[in-house]
Structure formats: C-alpha cells, structure tokens
Structure 1
Amino acid sequence: MTTNIQQIKPMSSKVKSYRFLALISHIGLLSWLSIWYLLLNNSQQYSFAFVFIVYLLPLLLPLHGVIKAKPYTHAWACFIVLWYFLHGITVIYSEPSYIVHAIIELVLAIGMFAGCSLFARNRGQELGSALPKLSKVMEQEKEYFERNTKHDTTDA
C-alpha cells in the first residue's frame, strides 16, 4: 500500500498563498480569455473552434494538476503561460483599442507565472524533491574530480 507524499506533508501558509495565487490567476485567465474572445469581441473574426484551440485549450491542459496542487504541473504551466504574456504584449503594441483587455491578460498571466513558479519551487522543497543549489552541485563535482584525479596520478 503506497501513500501519497503530498497528503503526508502539510503545506506551509506561504506555499498555500502561492498556490492560491496560481489557481486564482489560472482560472481568471481562462475566464477572461473566454469572455474577451467569445462575448466582448463583436467582430466575430475568429471561430469558436479557433478560440478554443489557440486560447483556451493550452490553459485547460495543466488545470487538473494545478487544482490537485502538483508541483511538477505548476512548473510546466509556467511555460504555457508565457504564450499569454507574449500575446498580451503583442496586443498592446499592435491593437491600441484592446489595451485594457491586454493589460488584464498581462496581470493574470504574471500572477499565474509567479504563483506557479513559486509554488513549484517551495512545495518541491517541502516535499524534498527540489533541485539542489548549483553551488552544492559544483562542490560535489569538484570533490568527485579531485578524488578521481588523485587516483589517476597515483596509478601512473
């Protein structure tokens, strides 16, 4: 019988706040883009299928893992949200009539990126699955190579 380590180790209040930021921003971004492109955009220049595939589907992919508070899903969701950050910046530059829409998208994308990355990092540390610091890795490699170099020179 295996137990889920996430159920064993409780989250600190700081990690809970990062998770809340990630979750609220993620759902907010998904909701905002749905409202923007399906309700507020009167020009009907995009079909529903296009809006769903390009704007909504990428946000739906990590949603289950974000809801379940999985650090790994939060980490790769950061890559997905960069698309929305770039989209918001592009809209601000190229479509001045949608500047308010794009600023809302940017705020939600930045909130999602910050929440997801901080949650993944801190929860990973709590669970003991965090990557070691680069200085520690370099120190271990230095010790390893020094040890092996000593063995190589004494063998010759």
Structure 2
Amino acid sequence: MTTKLARLLALVGYFGLMLWVVLWHGFISPHPQLSVTFMLVMWLPWLLVPIKGMLNGNPYTHAWAVYMLMPYFLHGGVLLWSDEGERWLAIVELLLASTMFIGNMYYAKLRGRELGLSIRKKKKA
C-alpha cells in the first residue's frame, strides 16, 4: 500500500462517516424518541476533534484518531446483531469506520517512516 492510497482511504472513511452520521440520524432513520439535534450532537463531535490534523496529513493525528472510532464500531456492531431493520445502516457504518481505521493506521505508519518518525526502543542498561 502506498502513502497516497492510505491517506485516500483514511479521508474517504472519515468524511464518509461524517456524512453517514448526518444522513442516518437526520434523514434516513431518525430516532423515534430523541430529536435529530440531540442525535447529531451526540454522534458528530467525536469526528470533528481530529479534523485539522486529518486535513493537514499529520501522521500523529491519523494514529490517535483511530481511538475516536470505537463508539462507531460498537454502535454498528450492536445494531448489526440486534436490529434487523437497521442492519444495512450498521453495515455501512462499519465499512466506513473500517476504511478509516485501515487508512489511518497505514498512513501513520508509512508517512511516519517517510518523515523519520519512530517510537524509540529503550536502551538496555
């Protein structure tokens, strides 16, 4: 995999997940008891945290942004298992989160190598 492809995957997954959250909770299948505003305030801010570093191509941001994906993996996994009516929505969420995860991990690794960044090993005393 090339650095360019990894970055493309990361950004497609990232912006795709943002768009999917808005479409899903705002238009396709709004929650019956909770307002659209509440659902978007609950799901979107997580994705906005790493936006500057993602757009700038910062490998550190790409590396830690994968931790922001956990709520989306959990949400998609639970709905995939438990809600037959929203199963296809959960599959799309999981595919986008997985795309972002894979893209971010490879981009951080490959771009970090290009820049000479690494986690130093402890010297033995």
The alpha-carbon deviation at position 43 of structure 1 amounts to: 4.9
Q: Deviations over 1:75-132 (max 9, x none)?
A: 1110001221111001111211100000000000000001011111111111111224
Identity of aligned residues (%): 36
2:12 aligned with 1:24, yes or no?
A: yes
Counterpart contact for 2:3–2:111, Cα < 8 Å: yes
- Map of 1:76 onto structure 2: 64
Correspondence for 2:88 among 100, 105, 119: 100
The root-mean-square deviation of aligned C-alpha atoms, in Å, is: 1.6
- Map of 1:61 onto structure 2: 49
What is the distance in 2 between the residues matched to 1:114 and 1:42?
A: 29
What is the distance in 1 between the residues matched to 2:54 and 2:33?
A: 32
Correspondence for 2:117 among 129, 151, 155: 129
- Runs of 4+ residues deviating >6 angstroms: none
Q: Deviations over 1:13-69 (max 9, x none)?
A: 810110000001100011011101000125543223322222111011112211110
What is the distance in 1 between the residues matched to 2:60 and 2:98?
A: 19
Larger radius of gyration: 1
The runs of 5 or more residues in structure 2 that have no matched partner are none
The number of residues matched between the two structures is 125
2:13 aligned with 1:40, yes or no?
A: no
User: Greater relative contact order (Cα 8 A, min sep 6): structure 1 or 2?
Assistant: 2
Q: 1:27 to 1:124 in 2, by over 3 A?
A: same
TM-score of the superposed pair, with normalisation by structure 1: 0.74
TM-score of the superposed pair, with normalisation by structure 2: 0.91
